[in-house]
């Protein structure tokens, strides 16, 4: 009964005044005044009130990065699985979509989707496998496609060109190499691409399922207008039918070329088939 009366008396007391400056200090806490203690029956073990929040006008919305950090990796993995239906054309999986967003904000990414995806397009008479986590898009300037790893700039490109007459495998290989490294020159830009000497273009012919394929390994070098040199290693395969040649090329920077990437590129070119 005494405790109830003491609380009722304390409730009638005026609330201690706190200045606006105290409200802005993050560590400021409201302490019970001596009058409140006396009205409640002397010293008590009551806990201090929590600090007051800043007024709405002083509250700031979280940044985009802050919003993304609110999601755990488990939640992002679930989101990636929900996007497992891939993009509208079936060329990009859910984890790749989520990772592209995380990478844009400089955040850690999810483990890339393992395995390979099967390329089969009615507009192009070729099939092959490529890493499921890579992004595919059609070439908007000419027939062909580009598939790339957005995190490393490794890429696969399919180019179409008229089959050269005469000369055999060496001539076809040289035309294929020129087609793979020449597109940047065709569309302009600040870089100059140089055709490697014939002695550095390694070729091998194999017959698979009754069709002749030429496998090519060669280096390439890009020189920017500022003089910066970018060296890349390339693996490619080319085949022709009815006067048209189709070349599939894999490319990665030489300083980032590893045994693992070489095995990935080998898997891609070995799976290539001309229908």
State the pLDDT confidence band at 270, using cuts at 50, 70 and 90.
very high
Residue 24: predicted pLDDT: 47
122: burial class by Cβ within 10 Å (0-12, 13-18, 19+)? exposed
Q: Which residues pair with 208 in a beta bridge?
A: 211
Q: Is residue 244 within 8 Å of 266, Cβ to Cβ?
A: no
Residue 196: predicted pLDDT: 86
Instruction: Collect all residues with Cβ–Cβ distance below 8 Å to 67 and sequence separation of at least 6.
Output: none
Lowest mean pLDDT among 26-30, 92-96, 211-215: 26-30
Looking at residue 254, what DSSP letter applies?
Answer: G
Q: Is residue 266 within 8 Å of 235, Cβ to Cβ?
A: yes
Look up residue 174 and give its two tokens.
Answer: 């040289």
Model confidence at 4: pLDDT above 60: no
Mean pLDDT of all residues in 187-196: 61
Q: Regarding the domain with residue range 115-274, which homologous superfamily does it belong to in the CATH classification?
A: Mog1/PsbP, alpha/beta/alpha sandwich (3.40.1000.10)
Q: Are strands 244-253 and 229-241 parallel, antiparallel or unpaired?
A: antiparallel
For residues 202 and 15, give the distance between their C-alpha atoms in angstroms, rounded to a whole number.
87
Q: What's the distance, Cα to Cα, between the start and end of the chain in Å?
A: 94
Looking at residue 251, what DSSP letter applies?
Answer: E
Nearest to 251 by CA among 118, 172, 160, 146: 146
pLDDT tens-digit profile of 32-82? 555 444 445 555 455 555 555 555 555 554 455 554 555 555 555 555 555
- Residue extents of the structural domains in the chain: 2-58, 61-113, 115-274
Instruction: Collect all residues with Cβ–Cβ distance below 8 Å to 212 and sequence separation of at least 6.
Output: 205, 206, 239
Model confidence at 155: pLDDT above 90: yes
Mean pLDDT of all residues in 243-272: 96
Instruction: Collect all residues with Cβ–Cβ distance below 8 Å to 13 and sequence separation of at least 6.
Output: 35, 36, 39
Q: Is residue 232 within 8 Å of 244, Cβ to Cβ?
A: no
Q: Calculate the CA dihedral of residues 250, 254, 260, 262 and round it to 10 degrees.
A: 40
């Amino acid at each position: 009964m005494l405790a109830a009366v003491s609380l009722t008396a304390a409730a009638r007391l005026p609330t201690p005044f706190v200045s606006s400056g105290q409200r802005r200090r993050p560590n400021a806490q409201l302490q019970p005044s001596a009058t409140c203690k006396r009205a409640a029956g002397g010293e008590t073990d009551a806990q201090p009130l929590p600090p007051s929040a800043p007024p709405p006008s002083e509250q700031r919305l979280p940044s985009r990065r802050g919003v993304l950090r609110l999601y755990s990796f488990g939640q992002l993995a679930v989101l990636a699985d929900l996007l497992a239906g891939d993009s509208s054309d079936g060329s990009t999986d859910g984890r790749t979509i989520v990772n592209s967003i995380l990478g844009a904000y400089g955040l850690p990414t999810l483990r890339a989707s393992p395995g390979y995806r099967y390329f089969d397009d009615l507009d192009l008479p070729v099939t092959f496998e490529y890493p499921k986590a890579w992004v595919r898009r059609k070439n908007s300037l000419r027939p062909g496609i580009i598939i790339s790893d957005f995190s490393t700039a490794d890429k696969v490109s399919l180019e179409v060109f008229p089959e050269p007459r005469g000369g055999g495998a060496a001539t076809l290989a040289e035309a294929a190499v020129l087609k793979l490294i020449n597109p940047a020159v065709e569309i302009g830009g600040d870089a100059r691409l140089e055709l490697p000497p014939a002695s550095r273009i390694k070729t091998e012919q194999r017959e698979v399922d009754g069709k002749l394929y030429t496998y090519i390994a060669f280096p390439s070098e890009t020189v920017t207008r500022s003089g910066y040199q970018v060296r890349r290693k390339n693996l490619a395969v080319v085949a022709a039918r009815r006067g048209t040649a189709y070349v599939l090329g894999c490319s990665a920077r030489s300083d980032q070329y590893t045994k693992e990437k070489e095995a990935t590129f080998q898997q891609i070119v070995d799976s290539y088939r001309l229908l």
